[in-house]
Amino acid sequence: MSEQRKGMLLVISGPSGTGKGTLIKRLMKEDASLVFSVSATTRAPRPGETDGVDYHFVTMERFEELIAQEAFVEHAHVHGNRYGTLRSEVYERLARGENVVLDIDVQGALNVIASEKEKVSIFVLPPSLKALRERLTGRGTETPEAIETRLHNAIWELTQKDKYQYNVINDDLDTCVKALQGIIEAQKHSTTYYTVEVPEE
């Protein structure tokens, strides 16, 4: 039979420290249809992060240039840094039928939800604020003040969860991965993205 699938835009978002990065790595390892949209940011790389893989690390000057060139799908200020989703990472790949994964902050995600007609929006929640604090502390990359800022922001971000199509709690990693895979599997059969023709023989 003949099956056709349009590429889908997967917006995966949630407060800093909910473990989105680990989740996305697991999803991508097990599903070759997914490609990652590398965001641009003015923040400094964390240990282990690679330019062009985790982020495009750019100066503030370059970031402003990209805005002027209308190179962004969306961009936002988060925790004193700037983050942006590049058009070049998204539209051509969707047109090729690839499923593009955006790992973005809540502000950016809300912009994408408002501006893009077809998207799959997933909010990843921590099991508790206490767990979120522990994860942020355990990361060892933030000052105590930065952790307090992130927690403060998380409380506002959590109020936005119902603006997303899906909510998933990242308590147990395997359970959370399974839920995300279910969401992706469902979209692969959604008539928004999927067209099938039943042949005679």
Interface residue list for a copy of itself (CB under 8 A): 1, 3, 122, 125-130, 158, 161-162, 164-169, 171, 178-179, 181-191, 194-196, 198-201
Tell me the closest approach of the beta carbon of residue 25 to a copy of itself, in angstroms.
20
User: Alpha-carbon distance 177 to 35, whole Å?
Assistant: 16
C-alpha distances in Å from residue 156, one per residue of 43, 160, 184? 22, 7, 27
Tell me the closest approach of the beta carbon of residue 115 to a copy of itself, in angstroms.
19
Q: Which residue, 28 or 67, is less far from a copy of itself as judged by CB?
A: 28
Tell me the closest approach of the beta carbon of residue 32 to a copy of itself, in angstroms.
17
Q: Which residue, 38 or 177, is less far from a copy of itself as judged by CB?
A: 177
The number of angstroms, rounded, from the C-alpha of 23 to the middle of its chain's C-alpha atoms is 10
Q: Which of 73, 81, 80, 79 is nearest to 111 (CA)?
A: 73
Tell me the closest approach of the beta carbon of residue 28 to a copy of itself, in angstroms.
17
Q: Which residue, 109 or 184, is less far from a copy of itself as judged by CB?
A: 184
What is the layout of strands, in order, in the sheet containing 39-41?
A: 55-57, 39-41, 81-86, 72-78
